[in-house]
Amino acid sequence: MDKKAILDKAKRERRTILTEVESKQLFREAGINTAEAKLATSMREAIALSETFGFPVVLKIASPDIIHKSDAGGVKIGLKNATQVSRAYKEIMTSVKQKHPQATIHGVSVQPMAKPGVEIIIGMSKDSQFGPVLMFGLGGILVEILKDVSFRIAPLSRRDAREMIREVKGYPLLEGYRGQEPANIPLLEEMLLKLSNFAEQNKEIKEFELNPIFVYRDGAIAVDARVVLEDEVNQ
């Protein structure tokens, strides 16, 4: 499904929050490497997709009404066989229905487990005066605890991207702290520039977030993504 089809579908359904699968498709079109995710609308389909991807896999609740999936019990990682996928699917659905009984549930997204790496976050939100503002920082749950992030107004220059990365206190982690694999910093700069361009070219997008992005010596991959559209899109 291309960008126009995704946005048209959201408009028809009168929603401003895209699913993880839809969000990742938009970012892939923008040249961002994302972990492939496919929607399963039943346990049987989740098992079939897992076997197609190859184990281990991750299951995540797919709902426009649930932003913090882990808090809802909506994420299961490291599933190594069909039995574990079946159990995880049941547990996710039970937990989510208890904690968010009114939520619209599309199913679960299924994706292969990504190799662990240093986790970063890249996001964008619109300021009423300045327009799109890009954010960079340490990702995963660390971003909420440490709030170690930097900001720049779009469009970014290469110098902006370079400075954003080096401004965060956790930068030594990206250099390979205590023997850890260092991150590919030029690739992260390029990713920031691509996302700045993405924000500038897609005025209908109000905010987005890629978190976490696993970064390695030879690449980077976004394993979760969220896109929120402007309200006007659905008027």
CATH of the domain at 141: 3.30.470.20
Mean pLDDT computed over 182-192 = 96
Domain co-membership, 42 together with 148: no
Give residue 208's domain range.
118-234
Looking at the domain assignment, is residue 52 inside a domain?
yes
Domain end call among 90, 113, 136: 113
Average pLDDT for the chain = 93
pLDDT tens column, 93-150: 999 999 999 999 999 999 999 998 999 999 999 999 999 999 999 887 667 777 899 9
Q: Is residue 81 in some structural domain?
A: yes
User: Are 146 and 217 within one domain?
Assistant: yes
User: Do 107 and 124 fall within a single domain?
Assistant: no
Looking at the fold, whether 79 and 142 belong to one and the same domain comes out as no
Provide the domain count of the chain: 2
Those residues with Cβ within 8 angstroms of residue 27's Cβ, 6 or more apart along the chain or in another chain: 34, 198, 210, 222, 225
Say yes or no to pLDDT of 235 above 60. no
Domain boundary among 113, 129, 156: 113
